[in-house]
Amino acid sequence: MSHLHLRAVSNLLFGEILLFTRRLPRRRREKAAARNDIIKGNLMPPIKIIVKRVIISMLIGLLFGVALNEVTFYFLRETARAPKVIEIIIPDGTAEKVARGEAPPSIPDSMTFVVGDTIMVKNNDTADHELGPLWIPAGSSARLPLDAAASYAYSCTFQPNQTFGLDVYEPLTTWTRLYGIFFSGVPLGIMIALYALVVPGKKKEI
Are 5 and 55 in a shared domain? no
Q: What is the CATH number of the domain that holds 100?
A: 2.60.40.420
Residue (of 55, 68, 63, 70) closest to 190 by Cα position: 55
Are 69 and 84 in a shared domain? no
Contact 144, 128 (CB under 8 A): no
Residue (of 156, 99, 110, 112) closest to 131 by Cα position: 156
Q: Which residues have a Cβ under 8 Å from the Cβ of 158 and sit 6 or more positions away?
A: 90, 94, 95, 98, 104, 107, 125, 129, 131
- 137-147, pLDDT tens digit by residue? 999 999 999 99
Are 70 and 87 in a shared domain? no
Number of domains in the chain: 3
Are 96 and 155 in a shared domain? yes
Residue 160 C-alpha from the chain's centroid? 39
- Which residues constitute the domain of residue 151? 79-169
Are 164 and 88 in a shared domain? yes
Are 64 and 105 in a shared domain? no
Task: Look at residue 1 and give its three-state secondary structure.
Answer: coil
- 145-197, pLDDT tens digit by residue? 999 999 989 999 999 989 988 889 888 777 777 777 778 778 888 888 787 77
Are 67 and 111 in a shared domain? no
Report d(CA 121, CA 135) in Å as an integer. 10
Helices 174-205 and 47-75: crossing angle in degrees, nearest 10, is: 140
For the residues 120-137, what does the mean pLDDT come to? Answer: 94
Are 179 and 162 in a shared domain? no
Are 70 and 135 in a shared domain? no
Are 85 and 115 in a shared domain? yes
Q: In the structure, how many helices (H) and strands (E) does the chain have?
A: 4, 8
- 13-62, pLDDT tens digit by residue? 545 555 555 555 565 556 555 555 554 544 556 787 778 878 888 888 88
Are 193 and 145 in a shared domain? no
Predicted model pTM: 0.54
Are 37 and 48 in a shared domain? no
Task: Look at residue 117 and give its three-state secondary structure.
Answer: coil
